[in-house]
Chains A and B, each alone.
Chain A
């Protein structure tokens, strides 16, 4: 089996996800197969860490939400200030006239996607 370029993995690997993995690392002295389960954390790609309205961490969620991430997204204004979507919507809706960014007082406009 050393001569062949490809090793067929034993059942243990094949069964792991119900898929046949034929991929393998072939070295000069050691043949091995791997399945790598990694760990990462996600974070919002924002300059600040906390929402200027609710003072909660962006990577957490707004006071009205239970789950962070997709369920409680961030939104940027044209002024480049970010807030929890739910927070800024509440803010905007509470303003009688034109809303301003709570951080820089500039007129609030949602930043268009690209």
Chain B
């Protein structure tokens, strides 16, 4: 250091220079420049070395050491640009169009060729670099030997060397970086991708072998041990066993490329390239393993594959990179001192292992995230397929626990719902079933129901706008025969039955608390996720340890359990009124189940209705057993006498039934007579109670007998009355027939269609635009019209609106709400437009008597939507207007 200070700082030295010494300096400098040029000229000629050293010594003597260094480095840089970098890049000129390719574009590329070109180029530039490093070392030696001569003792050779070598390395990197063409990273990516795919094919075979268990000659125990460890962290131990000799060539090959790239300063570019290739491969593997199969779990096989392929590769690579370092440092004096970067940045014995664990975590996280995204994108289909798809749900749950990206699920699923389910084309039933499946599926992931709340809200909102929602809910809950029943239960089970069974199972398992340990953990994890206040309001969220209550979430759609029970009562009434026997076991069961969930008192009316049927059965047999033989009645009606045996009746406590729609009807004489006798006997037995027949209600089983066959029907009394009129008279005008059975002509014309459609009555036009109905003696098309002995034809139930015998809840509500209609219309005239809430609150405020307004918001909404469909109101952007 002393020399340099004097030479730089003491300009007096210049004055002291003699002409001789100037001459010497000039000669030495010239010689130095020439020899430097010779050495670095690219011819690979080291013969000028001795001369070069002499010139260096001479210049150093004159204190021009730094000039020597600087000049040499400058020439070296030019030489590297010329002989190294530009030659290197020229190799890749043919691929310059790669720069615009996307990473995973499939292009027709000669993979072998790229590989070859890259290896050649790297080899060439490495050779050049090695040569230049040799030249650099000659300089180092020259400088060193000069110092040694001067001081007569050995100096630390290392410092000088490190300084120059690192200068050189910097020079190499900056030259390359400055001239880096855009397509080079793409080429690297392609290279690693291709090689890794090759490797994965080889290793993948091993993996498959492993998976299909003990096939080769390996010791059974040994193999078992290895196999068991796949899932654990003992990766090193696992790989020490493994036989990658076949792949080691490939790994070495890749390792060599990585090393070469590192020595050119492309360390992070190389790592990026193989990392992205690995991730790409992993992504493809996840997609491949997961696919659209939701009925098996794939997480474990993905993890096993990560262990078997990429980690094995990385292990081998890290070992190779580590090994090559130690190998070179002991065997070669001229090795690149920059290679051991890995050991520089991660000192310690177990570095590869630590690095590998980091890789394992990275890869697994990536795999979890990829699988999670894949499943979230298909969540709608997965839920449609639930519970068969529960393995996919379990995978998703594990992924989310790892990534914590629950909000992603919420957002994505809500938009899928909006797009796929909550559309005019979807039936209310489908929406409800998807809703229930969603609850069932997501409560596995989210036992606390935190984000289920958020996901369910748009479905509930949407369903509230549909008129048939309540009816569909009640059907789904109580009717197991409605076909699309829940998949997890027995096919004939209602949802209520299923929920009840689940509860019993839970109780029998002795789970005193709603969480098993797994669920508890899941809940803890889920609660770590901080939901937005929008997704679950804090009040609901703070209800600790709540469980997802399916029934509660269903009732939540309607708003109140009373409305649900009320709707059920109407449906039950309809069902009971259409029974021709007294078999109500199923209904009793359903009411029992409803009582469990909704409380005994809210189902009291339903119980009375059921009790009416039980009583009716008893009363019915009592009446028929004690009635006097119909002595005089048979005289009245002559041949048309029928026996009391053929009559049965359901007797209602009408105060407890929903409003019943009875229409006037003249029953056939004999039947009417029998009903009179029946009623008379009833009041004898039950005095002072009496019966009032609801003649248009009930069920009639009919058998029509023709010469060659008989046809059976189950029909409403009005149909029976019509057809029985044809016993005495083949042909009727509609006016006469309507008068005979006591209904308006238009009602008759509608009802008689049933018989016309069966081919039993024909319609023709008579005088005065009156229809004439005639009994067909020969069936027109018996085959088409069916009615064989085996299957009685039914015409009952609610498939035709006019066939209903019970006023629907909607009709009942409309009746009760009509009082307020004028008031609402008046308000809207004054205010122009009003939101639902405001109408509701105003009614509450002003309608305090005659009758007081006591309806729920949902009921009001349903009434208003009725007014909208009657075109009295308009509904836009949440506001109601008068229809203009």
Residues of A within 8 A of B (CB): 1-2, 7, 9-10, 12-13, 16-17, 19, 21, 23-46, 57, 59-60, 66-70, 74, 76
Contacts and interface: CB of A to CB of B under 8 A. Distances in A.
A57 to B, nearest CB: 5
Given A33-B705, A34-B701, A37-B700, A57 B655 contact: yes
A34 B642 contact: yes
B837 interface: no
Contacts of B698: 36-39
Contact of A43 (B649, B690, B726, B792): B690
Contacts of A68: 608, 653, 655-656
Nearest to B615: A69
Contact of A36 (B641, B671, B691): B671
B769 to A, nearest CB: 26
13 contacts: A7-B705, A23-B641, A26-B639, A34-B642, A34-B703, A37-B647, A38-B694, A39-B698, A41-B652, A41-B694, A42-B691, A42-B692, A70-B686
A69 B724 CA distance: 35
B692 A41 contact: yes
B571 interface: no
A34 B608 contact: no
A27 B727 contact: yes
B575 to A, nearest CB: 13
Contacts of A43: 654, 689-690, 692
Interface stretch (B108-116, B303-311, B675-683, B814-822): B675-683
A44 B701 contact: no
Contacts of A57: 655
Contact of A42 (B607, B645, B690, B707): B690
B338 interface: no
Contacts of A76: 688
A38 B642 contact: no
B174 interface: no
Given A38-B649, A40-B692, A10 B703 contact: yes
Nearest to B640: A25
Given A12-B712, A23-B641, A59-B654, A40 B777 contact: no
A40 B650 contact: yes
Q: Which of B701, B707, B728 has the most chain A CB atoms closer than 10 A to its own CB?
A: B701
B646 interface: yes
Interface in B714-737: 717, 720, 723-724, 726-730
Contacts, number: 186
Nearest to B650: A39
Nearest to A46: B688
B697 interface: yes
A43 B654 CA distance: 8
Contacts of A31: 704-705
B775 A29 contact: yes
Given A13-B703, A27-B727, A42 B641 contact: no
B648 A37 contact: yes
Contacts of B648: 35-38
A18 B686 CA distance: 27
A40 B671 contact: no
A100 B520 CA distance: 68
B157 interface: no
Given A13-B703, A29-B775, A30-B704, A38 B727 contact: no
Contacts of B639: 25-26
A67 B612 CA distance: 9
A42 B682 contact: yes
A35 B712 CA distance: 11
B705 A41 contact: no
B785 interface: no
A40 B651 contact: yes
B670 interface: yes
B653 A59 contact: yes
Nearest to A75: B688
B689 A45 contact: yes
B165 interface: no
Contact of A12 (B646, B686, B777, B789): B789
B58 interface: no
Contacts of B775: 29-30
A1 B678 CA distance: 32
A66 B580 CA distance: 26
A83 B649 CA distance: 28
B580 A45 contact: no
Contacts of B674: 36
Contact of A38 (B655, B670, B717, B724): B717
B686 A37 contact: no
A16 B642 CA distance: 16
B693 interface: yes
B242 interface: no
A32 B730 CA distance: 14
Contact of B707 (A2, A17, A27, A41): A2
B710 interface: yes
A25 to B, nearest CB: 5
Given A39-B698, A40-B691, 9 more contacts: A2-B707, A19-B645, A25-B670, A30-B775, A37-B647, A38-B694, A43-B692, A66-B607, A74-B688
B693 A40 contact: yes
B699 interface: yes
B154 to A, nearest CB: 114
A74 B221 CA distance: 88
A25 B690 contact: no
Nearest to A31: B705
A61 B468 CA distance: 34
Contacts of A34: 642, 646, 671, 700-703, 720, 724
Nearest to A58: B655
B604 A66 contact: yes
A12 B792 CA distance: 9
Given A32-B723, A39-B693, A40-B693, A23 B645 contact: yes
Contacts of A28: 727-728
A60 B727 contact: no
Contacts of B641: 23
Given A25-B640, A32-B727, A35-B700, A67 B608 contact: yes
Contact of A23 (B608, B646, B700, B792): B646
A90 B699 CA distance: 43
Contact of A25 (B608, B642, B654): B642
A78 to B, nearest CB: 15
Contact of A44 (B579, B643, B689, B792): B689
Contacts of A25: 639-640, 642, 670, 724, 727
A69 B689 contact: yes
B507 to A, nearest CB: 28
Q: Which of B689, B717, B777 has the most chain A CB atoms closer than 10 A to its own CB?
A: B689
Contacts of A67: 608, 611
Contacts of B611: 67
A35 to B, nearest CB: 4
Nearest to A23: B643
A43 B624 CA distance: 20
A95 B692 CA distance: 37
Nearest to B693: A40
B720 A38 contact: no
B577 interface: yes
A37 B653 CA distance: 17
Nearest to B682: A42
A74 B700 CA distance: 34
Given A44-B689, A59-B653, A60-B656, A35 B608 contact: no
Contact of A29 (B577, B615, B710, B726): B726
A40 B686 CA distance: 14
Given A29-B775, A40-B692, A42-B686, A35 B654 contact: no
A32 to B, nearest CB: 5
A80 to B, nearest CB: 12
A37 B608 contact: no
Contacts of A69: 615, 653, 686, 689
A38 to B, nearest CB: 4
Contacts of A41: 651-654, 657, 660, 691-692, 694
